[in-house]
Amino acid sequence: MTGFVRLEILDAVGIIRLDRPPVNAINSAMHGELSAAVRAAAQNPEVRAVVVYGGERAFAAGADIKEMASKSAAEMSLYGGDLTGAVDALARLAKPVIAAVTGYALGGGCEIALAADFRVVAQDSVLGLPEITLGVIPGAGGTQRLPRIVGVTKAKEMIFGGRPVTGVEAVAIGLASRAVPADQVYSEALSWAQQLARGATAAIAAAKLAIDSGLDGDIATGLRIEAAVFAGLFATEDQKTGMRSFIESGPGKATFSGR
């Protein structure tokens, strides 16, 4: 392990830290380390929400082009598959995930951010999928997740032209939830994650499953998934706690365990 990606735990929040100076260019070592960090966050019951953060200078300025440039199509199938698997694992993490973006989130870095449930960005950050300018396309989920987040037309505009957007514009088009001054990005994301971690995280995980799985199919399938996970929550401690608290003390006063 090179230590380019690590999981840190603060209270009930897992911070997946991208740390490959100077700008967190994503190389093959980071693929496996990202997968390992996501797996560790998934398996640790103390982690109830996750923040992905690249530091003050950059979230991740894209893939390591020097490492990729001479690879064959067959080699890239394996190389790209590892990154796609890591990003997909992050997207499917059964806990709320917030990407805290400062500086650049380009190419593979943007695709990691897209895998989060929410993005808190610096007002002057730069997000985009510039792969077309290299003669290729996004290969770790960008062509699939970006249209689902911002709509097909805006996604094609960004991908076909390779044009990035600022943090302020990212909020305007629905790519990000909040844009704040750069020195407030991490604290804003962490505060939001801590708020989510105090909530009914079993129900949040169920809602995430229902939403994301429903988007993968037709509405009838989505409704069946929703009904199943809704009923399943009546086997959780949080459901008992939440409804008992409502009856006894009114809404919004329950303290949840996440079980």
Helix, strand, coil percentages, rounded to 5, for the chain: 55, 15, 30
Does 63 participate in catalysis according to the annotation? Answer: yes
pLDDT in tens, 51-92: 999 999 999 998 888 888 888 898 888 887 888 999 999 999
Identify the band that residue 205 occupies on the pLDDT scale cut at 50, 70 and 90.
very high
Q: How far apart are CA 83 and CA 62, in angstroms?
A: 12
- Whether this model's pTM surpasses 0.75: yes
Distances (CA, A) of 48 to 14, 59, 124, 134: 8, 22, 30, 39
Q: Amino acid identity, residue 55?
A: G
Does 67 participate in catalysis according to the annotation? Answer: no
Q: 1 pLDDT exceeds 80?
A: no
The active-site residue, picked from 54, 108, 109, 258, is 108
Cβ 121 vs Cβ 167: under 8 Å:
yes
The active-site residue, picked from 33, 111, 188, 226, is 111
CATH 1.10.12.10 fits 201-249, yes or no: yes
Does 8 participate in catalysis according to the annotation? Answer: no
Q: In what order do the strands lie in the sheet with 165-166?
A: 104-106, 126-128, 165-166
The active-site residue, picked from 25, 60, 61, 63, is 63
The domain locations on the chain are 5-197, 201-249
Instruction: Provide CATH code, domain 5-197.
Output: 3.90.226.10
Does 169 participate in catalysis according to the annotation? Answer: no
pLDDT for position 143: 96
Q: What percent of the chain has pLDDT over 70?
A: 99
